Chains A and B, each alone.
Chain A
């Protein structure tokens, strides 16, 4: 069955960097678009980034544009989110997901805390 497992979260200082990973299995990763979605503590869901199924294009929410980079390694069946210039407001649980338009699968999330 489909599995998505996020990792890489932790505590980082403001201005720092972190790379999240999402290891996937159970579907054809190379032909699937992928999203990152985050949820600040006690707050709602926020779409962060999208990588098209063919890997040709990436898209970002205005709040992270220029600081975050979504990418994938097909050979490792892994999706990444490189996060630079982190701010306190980036503190959240980060989820990877396969689709937001069709019935998709989500990981369990990884917590990123930006604090000094």
Chain B
């Protein structure tokens, strides 16, 4: 199972929006609605921000939103805040009880 493809970096000024893409195949992202997005600050465990493509766990601000089109999922951070600066990873169910993560995107708040 190959890693899902994400841009290495993304950036925006406070208050702006940033969108991160996550490209897979019809065997993972395109085949299932089990795409999750994780935020990871340095030295910390990942924290789920979006699950099942577009659902937000309780406690996650509605500034975080997710979507999917074909084999590509997207995470949008609206109204960027300083604390949003972190690494972001997508993940997808890949069928046959396999799972795959994205390559990761470092978000910088300018």
Q: Assess the A106–B46 pair: CB atoms within 8 A.
A: yes
Chain B, residues 89-110, CB within 8 Å of chain A (1/0): the string is 1010100111111111000000
Contact partners of B47 in chain A: CB under 8 A: 106
Q: Assess the B91–A45 pair: CB atoms within 8 A.
A: yes
Indicate if A2 sits at the interface (CB-CB under 8 A).
no
Indicate if A26 sits at the interface (CB-CB under 8 A).
no
Q: Assess the B89–A44 pair: CB atoms within 8 A.
A: yes
CB < 8 Å neighbour of A57 from B93, B97, B103: B97
Residue numbers of A with Cβ under 8 A of B are 35, 37, 44-47, 50, 52, 57, 59, 61-62, 95, 100-104, 106-109
- Bound-state CA distance A57–B96 (Å) is 11
Q: Assess the A101–B45 pair: CB atoms within 8 A.
A: no
Q: Assess the A62–B99 pair: CB atoms within 8 A.
A: no
If A44-B103, A95-B45, A108-B45 touch, whether A101 touches B34 (CB-CB below 8 Å) is yes
Q: How large is the interface on B (under 10, 10 to 19, 20 to 34, 35 or more residues)?
A: 20 to 34
If A95-B45, A100-B36, A106-B46 touch, whether A50 touches B97 (CB-CB below 8 Å) is yes
- Of all chain A residues, the one with the shortest Cβ separation from B49 is A103
CB < 8 Å neighbour of B99 from A50, A103, A106: A50
Q: Assess the B36–A101 pair: CB atoms within 8 A.
A: yes
Indicate if B57 sits at the interface (CB-CB under 8 A).
yes
Contact partners of A95 in chain B: CB under 8 A: 45-46
Q: Assess the A62–B1 pair: CB atoms within 8 A.
A: yes
If A100-B36, A102-B51 touch, whether A45 touches B104 (CB-CB below 8 Å) is yes
Q: Assess the A45–B89 pair: CB atoms within 8 A.
A: yes
Contacting A at CB under 8 A, from B63-110, are: 89, 91, 93, 96-104
Q: Assess the B101–A46 pair: CB atoms within 8 A.
A: yes
